[in-house]
């Protein structure tokens, strides 16, 4: 990850992201693969539900925790 300010992935939102939603579409990704969406406080639940009802959501982690785990 770069030093740029993380922006929420919700359509039209320009708020700073504070959550990472790790997901995987089992029809096209290997089980260990993790794609990510970023979420602000306001959109965390909505984006989580969107991924969750499809069975894609694997984890929700605070952005700073994710960044530390990635070694950034």
Query: In this predicted model, what pLDDT tens digit does every residue of 18-51 receive, in sequence order?
Result: 999 999 999 999 999 999 999 999 999 999 999 9
> Cα angle at 58 between 21 and 52, to 5 degrees?
80
Whether the pTM exceeds 0.85: the reply is: yes
> Would you report the helix, strand and coil content of the chain in percent, each value rounded to 5?
25, 25, 50
- The pLDDT mean for the chain works out to 93
Residue 1 pLDDT level (bands cut at 50, 70, 90): very low
């Amino acid at each position: 990850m770069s030093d740029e300010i993380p922006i929420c992935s919700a359509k039209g939102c320009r708020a700073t992201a504070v959550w990472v939603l790790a997901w995987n579409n089992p029809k096209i990704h290997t089980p260990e693969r993790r794609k990510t969406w970023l979420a602000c406080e306001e959109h965390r639940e909505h984006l989580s539900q969107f991924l969750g009802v499809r069975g894609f959501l694997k984890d929700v982690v605070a952005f700073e925790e994710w960044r530390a785990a990635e070694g950034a």
